Chain A
Amino acid sequence: MNKIKTIIRKEWAEVFKNKMVIFTVAFLPLIMTALPLGIIFATGDAMAAETVTTEMPSEMTEAMCLDSLDSAACFQVFLVSQFMMMFMIIPVAIPVTMAAYSIVGEKTTRSLEPLLATPITTVELLVGKCLATVIPAVLATYAAFGLFALGSWLLVANKALLSALFDVRWLIAIFLVGPLLALMSVTFALMVSSRVNDPRVAEQVSMVMIVPVLAGFFGQIAGLFVLNKAIISWAAVVMVIIDAALVYMATKVFQREQILTRWK
């Protein structure tokens, strides 16, 4: 456990010395928070059209509109819900660059060989590297959602609307699926980082992990599906399985010998 802590602290000490990294970690969540808050602010009192809900797909009104909500508030929930998916992008996008650099970066600076010469096990090393990137991403996601909650509370007078915005499906999405997504993107990025010799390649390939989340985002906007409680719960179950498989594969892909001897 101490070795894992040492790796986490070392990674943070290295990464957060770079001001650009701090900027990236802070900037993305702020943007993702500002967008739904901006929508709430912009649509607040202006939403007088009684007919807006009639233009929404019926599955959406069923999933999003509580009986206590008027049609304007319902439409507000609908609009914000489209952008709530943004909070799912944060835990994928933030750690992926850091994780992608994690192993290949040590190869380029030649610090990997002395590190592997210590009694640290592969699992300890990977868990340390993984947590070092997952934790900031999850904390940034939670912080962003916290800011969104605070902003909504300040902007929305309607309690029914407020509780609709913080529906249980979003709580599952942010607090359960978010960390699982972060773990998925990090383990995938670590695998890529173990196999390639160029940090740029590692970053480019690892970015693929954002695609499924973006597909979900655009899929919902296009009306292909409505992210309801059942879908998000199933997504969480599937994510647990995918993560378990990826973690297992990451430990198998990390071949100390190949990493050392293939690197010139």
Chain B
Amino acid sequence: MRHPAGSIAGETHGESMIHTENLTKRFKEVLAVDNLSLDVREGEVFGFLGPNGAGKTTTVRMLTSLIAPTGGHAVVNGFEVGVQDTEIRRSVGILTETPGMYDNLSAEYNLQVFANLYEVPDVIGQVEKYLKMLGLYDRRFDAAGTFSKGMKQKLAIARALLHEPKIIFLDEPTAALDPEAARLVRDFIAELKKEGRTIFLCTHNLDEADRLCDRVGVFKSRLLVVDAPSKLRTSLFGRKVVFHLRKADEKLAQSVRKLGFVHEVKAVDNKLLVTLEDPEMHNPDILRLLVGEGADVQFVGELRHSLEDVYMQLVKAA
């Protein structure tokens, strides 16, 4: 029996696919996951960020029913962790930290084994579909052990998708890949997102999370914060607009500072760094003021804090 969706409001996505309440995992003295409460909605790409040893893999293992929680509860695709484990395993796909292929067996046979274990109705057709989709069809008879890291990772992704799961857990999918292979994998994740699958992406590649994720959760044994990457930046650093001038001085900065909606102004190297909440609304006013003061405005841009800045700030504070 499937459980009803969780009650925490999502963003623009559908019903709750992953719902946890105070999910906890303790290994003797080590508290690996501490009271994780989280809701991931249908069709969402959720980035689970955290340093090594933060408990990301442990969380994924609990949510895929590989290990049991020691506290709290979790519902995945409507099935309760610890109670309906076989149903959960049947309905989710997982890309583990290392591909773990059967190196002596061909790529095709590797996938056939898993298609059979997932009880895929059309094993041959489904294996062929994903081998073609991931560009491995021409190498299907080659032993997986002869594949490059990137190819093995693609094969492992194919393995995770054979049974068309609604939820896919990707644990560090681009770790240890060269830039080209990492890009291929990221592009494929973007394709999966377009198909409307729910993706739980564990990573410490912040650029990757920024590009792919609708929301991210920063995690270090406990969940520090969850939001869309852009909102996290704004909430932590505000929005900064850079006005490049032919000559910037403290007098100009003082004039801008007097505007009521401006939070902070700094004059640095012929640039004015202005912190404000709504640049779209207030940039024209600032521009008018600067031109009126006789400043030569060369161009205007927004200073984007990277997700790395957000992450570092949160993890250090934790």
A interface list, Cβ under 8 A from B: 2-3, 6, 9-10, 13-14, 17-18, 109-121, 256-257, 260-261
Nearest A residue to B88, CB-CB? A119
Q: Cβ of B147 < 8 Å from any Cβ of A?
A: no
- Contact B98 A119, beta carbon cutoff 8 Å: no
* Cross-chain contact of B118 among A109, A110, A119, A257 (Cβ < 8 A): A119
Partner of B100, one of A9, A13, A113, A257: A113
**Would B103 and A109 count as touching, CB distance under 8 A?**
yes
Residues of chain B contacted by A18 (CB below 8 angstroms): 104
A110 with B96: CB separation less than 8 A:
yes
Expressed in whole angstroms, the minimum distance between the Cβ of A162 and any Cβ of chain B is 45
With contacts A257-B67, A260-B61 taken as known, whether A6 is within 8 angstroms of B27 at the C-beta atoms is no
B98 CB, min distance to chain A CBs, angstroms: 4
On whether A119 and B105 interact (CB within 8 A), knowing A110-B98, A112-B100, A114-B159, the answer reads no
* B64 at interface, CB cutoff 8 A: yes
Complex interface: chain B residues within 8 A of A118 (CB): 89, 114, 117-118
What residues on B are CB-neighbors of A17 within 8 Å?
A: 104-105
CB distance from B2 to the nearest CB of A (A): 16
Contact present for A114 and B94 (CB under 8 Å): yes
B31 / chain A contacts, CB cutoff of 8 Å: none
Q: Does B66 contact A (CB under 8 A)?
A: yes
Report the nearest A residue to B94, measured CB to CB: A117
Cα distance, A117 to B92, chains bound together (Å) = 9
What bracket does the count of chain B residues touching chain A fall in?
Answer: 20 to 34
Contacts of B68 in A (CB 8 A): 257
List 30 A–B pairs whose Cβ atoms lie within 8 Å, in order of A's numbering: A2-B116, A2-B119, A3-B117, A6-B113, A6-B117, A10-B102, A13-B105, A18-B104, A109-B100, A109-B103, A110-B96, A110-B98, A110-B100, A111-B100, A112-B100, A114-B156, A114-B159, A115-B117, A117-B64, A117-B89, A117-B94, A118-B117, A119-B89, A119-B117, A119-B118, A119-B119, A256-B66, A257-B68, A260-B61, A261-B27
Shortest 6 CB-CB distances between A and B: which pairs?
A110-B100, A118-B117, A111-B100, A6-B116, A119-B90, A257-B67
Give the A-binding residues of B (Cβ under 8 A): 27, 61, 64, 66-68, 86, 89-90, 94, 96, 98-105, 109, 113-114, 116-119, 156, 159
Q: A119 CA to B114 CA in the complex, in Å? A: 10
Residues on B with beta carbons closer than 8 Å to the beta carbon of A14: 102, 104-105
Residues of the B chain whose Cβ atoms lie less than 8 Å from the Cβ of A2: 116, 119
Q: Which residues of B contact A119 (CB under 8 A)?
A: 86, 89-90, 117-119
Q: Please give, as numbers and ranges, the residues of chain B lying within 8 Å of A115 by CB-CB distance.
A: 117
Q: A17-B105, A114-B156 are in contact. List 15 more A-B contacts (CB 8 A).
A: A10-B113, A17-B104, A18-B104, A109-B100, A111-B100, A114-B100, A114-B114, A116-B66, A117-B94, A117-B96, A118-B89, A120-B117, A257-B67, A260-B67, A261-B27
Most chain B beta-carbon neighbours within 10 Å: one of A18, A119, A120: A119
Bound complex: CA of A173 vs CA of B89, how far in Å?
43
The CA of A257 and the CA of B104, in the complex, are separated in Å by: 27
**Distance (Å) between the CB of B313 and the closest chain A CB?**
31
B114 proximity list for chain A (CB < 8 A): 114, 118
Chain A residues near B117: list those with CB within 8 A: 3, 6, 115, 118-120
Please give the distance in Å from B125's CB to the nearest CB on chain A. Answer: 17
List the B residue with the shortest CB-CB distance to A110.
Answer: B100
Residues from chain A with a CB closer than 8 A to the CB of B159 are 114
With A111-B100, A114-B114, A119-B117 as known contacts, state yes or no: A260 contacts B105, CB within 8 Å: no
In the bound complex, what is the Cα–Cα distance between A2 and B100 (angstroms)? Answer: 22
Chain A residues whose CB sits within 8 angstroms of the CB of B103 once the complex forms? 109
- State the Cβ distance, B86 to closest chain A Cβ, in Å: 5
Which residues of chain A are near B118, meaning CB under 8 Å?
118-119
Q: Would you give the shortest CB distance from B67 to chain A, in whole angstroms? A: 4
What's the least CB distance linking A23 to chain B, in Å? 16
Are B156 and A10 closer than 8 Å at their CB atoms?
A: no
Could you say which of B27, B66, B104 contacts A113, with CB atoms under 8 Å apart? B66
Minimum Cβ distance to chain B for residue A123 (Å): 12
- With the chains together, A6 CA to B118 CA distance in Å? 11
Nearest-CB residue, chain B, relative to A124: B117
Q: A3-B117, A110-B96, A261-B27 are in contact. Are A117 and B86 (CB under 8 A)?
A: no
A260 surroundings in chain B (CB, below 8 A): 61, 66-67
Q: Across the interface, which residues of A come within 8 angstroms of B116, CB to CB?
A: 2-3, 6
CB distance from A178 to the nearest CB of B (A): 29
Closest to A117 in B: B94
Do A261 and B67 touch (CB < 8 A)? yes
Nearest-neighbor residue (CB-CB) of A256 within chain B: B66
B72 CB to nearest A CB, Å: 16
User: Nearest B residue to A3 by beta-carbon distance?
Assistant: B117
Residues of B close to A6: CB separation below 8 A: 113, 116-117
